[in-house]
Amino acid sequence: MKQTKTKKLILTAILTAAALVAFTIEAAIPPLTPIYGIKLGIANVFTLFTLYAVGKPYAAAVLFLRITLGSIFTGQLVSFIYSLTGGVLSFLLMLLLRRFFPVKQLWVLSALCAVMHNAGQLAAAMLMTSTVQLIYYLPVLIVSGIIAGVFTGLCAQLVLLRMNTEKLILGG
Amino acid sequence: MKNRIWIIIFSVTVLVCTAVWIGLSFFPSPSKIVGIYQNGSLVEKVDLTAQTGERSIELNGDYGKNIISVTHGRIEMKSADCPDKLCVKHGELKSAGSPIVCLPNRIVIKFENQSGSADAEAGALL
Ligand SMILES: [Zn+2]
């Protein structure tokens, strides 16, 4: 099955909408811990899915549209700058490492990127508040990044394998 | 790399980080001098042992007012207008490893080193 550009754009739009829904729902749930940056990041399932099933630029679109629109919709403008810093850094790592990880190891890539995301957010927070002591939160953010990243990665991975999407959409 | 190797790498990392985190969070601070910072600069230093009765400190930020409560040996964010209220949920400041942070209003409450000066200088450099 050949994938036309139009089809890819439509897929990207649908995936962006789905990611936004997931982000909005997650934002409505009260945080489990009084620590910034500990969350599951369900929306990332859609970014990962897009990266593997559609392509790199499309995944970038899903991610950055979701961060921008999501921050506006949920009114979380405070966290926008942190989300964006974390998002950019983790996406760069994702692009860099994508070719080393087949779908079956997507969970590894996802975990690495989630850790990068949390570290990036923490760095942004340290700069914004000029507080070096926030580094104390690095260990707990690494742990939460690995757990959340493995979970979201497995979600995307299982869907991709079930659909055999890599073959189906990318044409082998 | 095989899945098994990654499972080992992640497990070890999780264990080490959890241990470090627990160590930092439950090790009570030897110092009872607390620094209150906003926008990275020191607003006030409070000696918790010297405090008698209750005292409130008000700070205003971009997202409204935060009220810090100080009693003998204890400091906490009593109320805040920030959207997430994570600073209030943090509760009492217990260890150097988990400062009270209000990101929206850019407030940090943390234990100072006994000397205190080295920290202040590091803060000023940023
Ligand atoms: Zn707050």
Domain membership flag for residue B32 = yes
The count of domains in chain A is 1
Domain membership flag for residue B3 = no
Please, what are the averages of pLDDT over each run of 10 residues along chain A (172 residues)? 81 96 89 82 95 94 94 80 92 95 95 96 88 86 96 95 64 41
Q: Do A139 and B89 touch (CB under 8 A)?
A: no
In Å, how far is B7's CA from the nearest CA of chain A? 9
Query: What pLDDT shows up at residue A136?
Result: 85
Cβ(B37)–Cβ(B123) below 8 Å: yes
In Å, how far is B21's CA from the nearest CA of chain A? 6
Domain membership flag for residue B40 = yes
CATH code, domain with B54: 2.60.320.10
| Host domain of residue A111 | 2-168
Q: Do B106 and A35 touch (CB under 8 A)?
A: no
Q: What is the pLDDT of residues B37-88, one digit of tens each?
A: 998 889 999 999 998 889 999 999 988 999 999 999 999 999 999 988 889 9
**Residues of chain B above pLDDT 70, percent:** 89
Domain membership flag for residue B116 = no
Residue B41 touches partner A, C-beta closer than 8 Å:
yes
Residue A135 touches partner B, C-beta closer than 8 Å:
no
At B115, is the pLDDT very low, low, confident or very high (cuts 50, 70, 90)?
A: low
Domain membership flag for residue B125 = no
CATH code, domain with A12: 1.10.1760.20
Q: Is A165 exposed, middle or buried (0-12, 13-18, 19+ CB in 10 A)?
A: middle
Size of interface A-B (CB pairs under 8 A): 92
| Host domain of residue B57 | 26-111
Domain membership flag for residue B70 = yes
Which among A34, A129, A136 has CB closest to B97?
Answer: A136
* Residue B85 φ/ψ region, left for φ over 0, alpha for ψ in the -120 to 50 degree band, beta for the rest: left
Torsion of CA B61, B66, B71, B73, to 10 degrees: -60
Domain membership flag for residue B6 = no
In Å, how far is A44's CA from the nearest CA of chain B? 19
Query: What pLDDT shows up at residue B109?
Result: 93
Structure tokens at B110: 């943390």
Q: What is the pTM of this model?
A: 0.84
Domain membership flag for residue B55 = yes
Q: Collect all residues with Cβ–Cβ distance below 8 Å to B103 and sequence separation of at least 6.
A: A36, A78, A79, A82, A125, A128, A129, B82, B84, B86
The count of domains in chain B is 1
Cβ(A112)–Cβ(A97) below 8 Å: yes
